[in-house]
C-alpha cells in the first residue's frame, strides 16, 4: 500500500499501519517524493561522500501561500479533526522529512505554532517555527507559513566544515577552498502547482519496482513516520511551552 503524507494524523495510528504491514507481509510506502528530486539525491550523495565535511548546523523554510478560498474548497481543510493541523502537517512535512533525511534522527524540539492572517478562516495553524535537536548533536532551525503572497521555493541550508550547501530552487555548494558548484534541476515543472515538484512519478515507479522484484522499499513506514513524529512534537512543544522528545 502506498499512502500519501502524512501516513496518519496520530502517531499511534501510523504505528498500527507499520505493525499491520509486518504482520501481513505487505509493502507499505509513504509518499515523500521530494527525496527523489535530483537536488535531494545530490545533497545526500555529497553529505555521505564526506566531501562537504561534517555537518555543523542546518536551517529550512517553507514560505508559501494559501488563502481562505483554498481552505473553503474542501471541508476537511483547516480542521484539527480531519486535517490534523495546518501548514506543518500538510505542506511543511515534506521539508521536515528532507531535513531529517539529510541531517539525522530528531530527538527533541522546542517549537511554536499559531494562526495569524488566516485566524478567522481556519482553526489550525498557518505559521510555525521550531528548533530541532538531532541525535548526532546537530541543531537545526525550521520555519513554515502559508501567509506569504506567493509560493516561494523551499529553502534548505546545511553548514558543513568544508562547504555550505544551499537549496533554493537551484542547488549551490560553496566549498571552503573557493570552489563553487551549481546544480540546476533539469526536470522543470511549470503551472500553478510547480512547487509540488515532479518526483511523484519516480517514487511510484520505484514502489512498483520493489514490489515486483521483492526488493525492500526504502521509504517504508519506519521512514514515513519520522516527519510525522517531528510535526506532532512541535504541536506538543507549543502547547506545553517546553522542549519535548520526538
User: How is domain 33-201+223-245 classified at the CATH fold level?
Assistant: Dihydrodipicolinate Reductase; domain 2 (3.30.360)
What does the pLDDT average to over 211-233? Answer: 97
With 0.85 as the threshold, say if the pTM is over it: yes
**If DSSP codes are grouped into helix, strand and coil, which group holds residue 158?**
strand
What does the pLDDT look like over 126-168, one tens digit per residue?
999 999 999 999 999 999 999 999 999 999 999 999 999 999 9
Strands (E), the chain: 2-4, 29-31, 55-63, 106-114, 127-134, 139-145, 155-160, 163-168, 170-175, 180-183, 244-245
Angle between the 11-24 and 221-240 helix axes, to the nearest 10 degrees?
Answer: 160
Dist CA 236 CA 230 (whole Å):
10
Residue with cell 519506519: 222
Render pLDDT for 190-208 as a digit per residue (tens, 0 to 9): 444 545 557 999 999 999 9
Which bin fits 58, alpha (ψ -120 to 50), beta or left (φ > 0)?
beta
CB-based contact 139:132 (threshold 8 Å)? yes
DSSP, res 246 = -
- Phi/psi of residue 52, each to 5°? -85, -5
Residue 187 DSSP one-character state: S
Asked whether the predicted pLDDT for residue 219 surpasses 60, the reply is yes
Asked whether 151 and 61 are in contact (CB, 8 A), the reply is no
**Each residue's pLDDT tens digit, 36-65:** 999 999 999 999 999 999 999 999 999 999
Amino acid at each position: 500500500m502506498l499512502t500519501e503524507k502524512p501516513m496518519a494524523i496520530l502517531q499511534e495510528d501510523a504505528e498500527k499501519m507499520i505493525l499491520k504491514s509486518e504482520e501481513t507481509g505487505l509493502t507499505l510506502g509513504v509518499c515523500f517524493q521530494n527525496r527523489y528530486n535530483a537536488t535531494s539525491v545530490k545533497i545526500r550523495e555529497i553529505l555521505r561522500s564526506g566531501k562537504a565535511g561534517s555537518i555543523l548546523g542546518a536551517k529550512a523554510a517553507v514560505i508559501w501561500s494559501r488563502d481562505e478560498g483554498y481552505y473553503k474548497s474542501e471541508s476537511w481543510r483547516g480542521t484539527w479533526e480531519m486535517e490534523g493541523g495546518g501548514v506543518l502537517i500538510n505542506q511543511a512535512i515534506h521539508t521536515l522529512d528532507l531535513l531529517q533525511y539529510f541531517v539525522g534522527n530528531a530527538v527533541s524540539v522546542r517549537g511554536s505554532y499559531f494562526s495569524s492572517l488566516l485566524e478567522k478562516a481556519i482553526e489550525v495553524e498557518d505559521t510555525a517555527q521550531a528548533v530541532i535537536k538531532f541525535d548526532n548533536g546537530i541543531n537545526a532551525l525550521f520555519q513554515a507559513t502559508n501567509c506569504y503572497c506567493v509560493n516561494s521555493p523551499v529553502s534548505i541550508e546545511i553548514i558543513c566544515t568544508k562547504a555550505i550547501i544551499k537549496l533554493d530552487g537551484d542547488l549551490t555548494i560553496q566549498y571552503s577552498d573557493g570552489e563553487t558548484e551549481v546544480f540546476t534541476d533539469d526536470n522543470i515543472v511549470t503551472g500553478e502547482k510547480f512547487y509540488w515538484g515532479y518526483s511523484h512519478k519516480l517514487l511510484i515507479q520505484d514502489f512498483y519496482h520493489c514490489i515486483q522484484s521483492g526488493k525492500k522499499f526504502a521509504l517504508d513506514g519506519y521512514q514515513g513516520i519520522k516527519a510525522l513524529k517531528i510535526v506532532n512534537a512541535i504541536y506538543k512543544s507549543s502547547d506545553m511551552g517546553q522542549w519535548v522528545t520526538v
